[in-house]
Amino acid sequence: MGESVWLAERFEEQRPHLRSVAYRMLGSHGEADDAVQETWLRLSRTDSDELDNLAAWLTTVVARVCLNTLRSRRRRGEEPLDIRVPDPVVVPAGPDDPEHSAVVADSVGLALLVVLDTLAPAERLAFVLHDMFGVPFDEIAPMIDRSPAAARQLASRARRRVRGQAPTPDTDLTRQREVVTAFLAAAHDGDFEALVAVLHPDVVLRSAGGATRARHTTVITGGREVAAQATLFSRFTPFSRHAVINGAAGVVVMAADRPLAIMAFTITGGRIAEIDVIADPDRLNRFDLSAFTD
């Protein structure tokens, strides 16, 4: 077996892990794929005899590529990122399907990704690599030109931000779906008080895009304010299909074969704490939603 074939096979074995790292670092499917591809290009130009631990080397490279992407975002002025709705991972609802169990087990909620987007690039790298993938701070430190102690401090700072801002979701997917069903029913009926009852008093609604604001994200907070917005959704509820979005209950809204929205719900204590909506036609068309068509 030639060296190039051997390297390609080893890389493919690591691809799911690398993409998982890149997605958590960037919250974008396209950018994550680009980061993994760049990692392969760098590997293909490297002498494999110099690689003592291929998996660790690949993780380091993809993390550095993602770090550069995050820094480039800031230089281009793509802020504020605290109201950016990340790309979701969407699969059809099917609690008995083993694929869905795997998605839930390996998922990271959109609410957490939204908070990660508010972190400084070095903070995000330290938190993601250490807290999500168990990379030691001795290995993280050189990636960000810091000491291990400084890397630990960055991760700790990020952890406090996450704990303070990202709600802890309920874990029962069936119960989550019941809450979403109650939300849809109340929206369809225009039942304002039923909507308020299913929403957390401090619920946050983030809506990215729409017919007239494709690149703008609207943020609405408060139970009664979000309930008022949800009543405007009533005419679309018949086109809603249950989905699993980043391991949690969600909805894909389809009119015939045309996607209208992806809605992700974060449910805490049996009530909806966050709703993240993507209605930007350009972004929606990047998703394979064929499983949701009639």
Tens of pLDDT along 224-282?
999 999 988 888 888 999 999 998 999 999 988 899 999 999 999 999 999 999 999 99
Q: How confident is the model at residue 97 (pLDDT cuts 50, 70, 90)?
A: low
Report the predicted TM-score, pTM, of the whole model to 2 decimal places: 0.88
Among 3-17, 189-203, 253-267, 272-286, the minimum mean pLDDT is found in: 3-17
Q: What's the DSSP call for residue 208?
A: E
Tens of pLDDT along 258-272?
999 999 999 999 999
Asked whether residue 83 carries a pLDDT value surpassing 80, the answer given is no
pLDDT at 215: 58
Assigned domain for 38 exists: yes
- Chosen domain end from 165, 199, 232: 165
Q: What is the mean pLDDT of residues 94-108?
A: 57
What is the distance between the alpha carbons of residues 30 and 33, in angstroms, rounded to a whole number? 5
What is the distance between the alpha carbons of residues 40 and 63, in angstroms, rounded to a whole number? 13
User: Which structural domain range is residue 224 located in?
Assistant: 173-292
- Contacts with 154 (C-beta within 8 Å, 6 or more apart), sequence order: 120, 122, 123, 126, 127, 144, 146
pLDDT at 126: 98
Q: How confident is the model at residue 90 (pLDDT cuts 50, 70, 90)?
A: very high
Asked if the bond preceding 201 is cis, omega within 30° of 0, the reply is no
Do the Cβ atoms of 264 and 275 come closer than 8 Å?
Answer: yes
The answer to whether residues 155 and 193 belong to one domain is no
Asked if the bond preceding 95 is cis, omega within 30° of 0, the reply is no
Do the Cβ atoms of 252 and 241 come closer than 8 Å?
Answer: yes
Do the Cβ atoms of 67 and 60 come closer than 8 Å?
Answer: no
The answer to whether residues 8 and 131 belong to one domain is yes
Q: How confident is the model at residue 101 (pLDDT cuts 50, 70, 90)?
A: low
Q: Across 5-14, 66-75, 181-190, 283-292, which has the greatest mean pLDDT?
A: 181-190
The answer to whether residues 96 and 158 belong to one domain is yes
* Total domain count, the chain: 2
pLDDT at 75: 74
Q: Is 260 helix (H, G, I), strand (E, B) or coil?
A: strand
What is the distance between the alpha carbons of residues 241 and 190, in angstroms, rounded to a whole number? 19
Tens of pLDDT along 200-223?
999 999 998 755 455 578 899 999
Q: Is 166 helix (H, G, I), strand (E, B) or coil?
A: coil
Which residues is 278 bridged to in the sheet?
Answer: 208, 262
Q: How confident is the model at residue 98 (pLDDT cuts 50, 70, 90)?
A: low
- Contacts with 119 (C-beta within 8 Å, 6 or more apart), sequence order: 127, 158, 161
Assigned domain for 52 exists: yes
Query: Which two three-digit tokens encode residue 242?
Result: 């249950």
What rounded mean pLDDT belongs to the chain? 89
| Number of H-type helices and E-type strands within the chain | 13, 7
The answer to whether residues 141 and 225 belong to one domain is no
E strand or H helix at 182: helix 173-189
